[in-house]
Structure 1
């Protein structure tokens, strides 16, 4: 995990240590709650209940935040979950972090106007970092989450693109530091190899990122299987944990995750 030579981490003294926030996740495709294995649309598992009912269940269990992903938009563009956002806002007190297909400043504004508390920007954040960095300034750091999917390639954490078939020239460290220096407050990082695998989070990766980016709330995503994994993510400094497949399959209760 090599940090870039041209930039250095932001000093610890500038920022407080973030606390850990639990984000139960709902991935939506064709109006249904689904999970993909390692992001592969051909390896999809469907779950019940419907997205709104699941969000209401998570709210009743004590969640404050929800991580909502529009998988249709992630592939084809054009965010489609505004009506669902409205339903969640009208029936729960959940704050929603959501993304999928965010390609323009108008997309960000539309999703915020639809009721999102925070907009997740993924592939465009890798392809057009200068553009997306400007959104942090325009909308405020508390309204933008940068999502970087990463894979270890030849001892460096790289950023695959185009369905994970191409690779960005910038490494994870380089791009993460670029955004931190642009004012980033929230970074969601997924280890592709662990996504949907229930193999445990990559705590070494998150420990590295938390040390590299003091003051940025790093969200652990991919592999969390039990409460012990959440405790481990917090122990290495993560500011958030995304809970997906393990919750849907009943491997532990959301109440227990929140209590830890």
Structure 2
């Protein structure tokens, strides 16, 4: 299981939201490039960047900053937030990203995103699936920076994209994101049980390295961590120790 640090961008700064709420923002003092360089220097191979302004507005807002990050570090960078059209995906990849994470458009207009595979290839597209869970009901996909519900469940959306040849999925339980309450292990175990050929990236709630073994046991390919790493609840040394022992 790969550990992928996250950098969330809002107004050009590194931030974290609590449960996706734009009214509950924590700002961090270091610049995005400084944070990315720190992870790169530690030997971490991948980076997850979220353009929160883009997610909310529908138009990527940090292309210059993303270009600066990708040109500074030697990491495989995946970028999400506000990617609604293939031209925007092209621009993100031209800025140096290896993959684009497409959420709202994937949920609202999956056939359009599936059409991108012909040009970009399925490996360059990560289907971002942000969900809310109400009791025993199927997880419901949220869109537009988690401000709107879609008519898709996690399973209906994954069914459609898997049938079209997609295999990269970033799955976030919104109720866990930014809370440090621990990941939704049951959700990820069910994802990999239903879709054993999918590359599932877990996101939301990671609080410490102690959760790595249980998360790896769910079968996810990787986990994105933001707040735990930024707040010092998780250290680079602990990531290295886990990867060496895995």
TM-score by length of 1: 0.88
Q: Counterpart of 1:110 in 2: which secondary structure?
A: helix
Consecutive unaligned residues in structure 1, runs of 5 or more = 1-19
* 3-state SS, counterpart of residue 182 of structure 2: coil
3-state SS in 2 of match to 1:255: helix
Cα contact 1:96–1:117 (8 A) shared by 2: yes
Report what 2:238 is aligned to.
256
Counterparts in 2 of 1:110 and 1:162: CA distance versus 1, 3 Å: closer
Alignment of 1:1-260 (within 5 A): 20-155=1-136, 156-162=138-144, 164=146, 166-260=148-242
Distance 1:88 1:168 in 2: 32
- Alignment partners' CA distance in 1, 2:2 and 2:151: 31
Q: CA deviation at 1:257?
A: 1.5
CA displacement 1:194-245 (0-9 Å, x = unmatched): 1111010001000000111112110110000111222221111000100100
Structure 2: any 5+ residue segments left out of the alignment?
Answer: none
Change (3 A) 1:69 1:181: same
Deviation at 1:254, TM superposition (A): 2.1
Name the SS of the counterpart of 2:232 in structure 1: coil
> 1-side partners of 2:123 and 2:90: how far apart?
14
Contact 2:18 2:178 (C-alpha < 8 Å) held by counterparts: yes
Secondary structure, aligned partner of 1:89: helix
Residues 32 and 176 (structure 1), Cα distance of their counterparts in 2 relative to 1, 3 Å cut: same
- How far off is 1:76 after superposition? 1.1
* Two-structure CA RMSD over aligned residues (Å): 1.4
Length-normalised TM-score, structure 2: 0.93
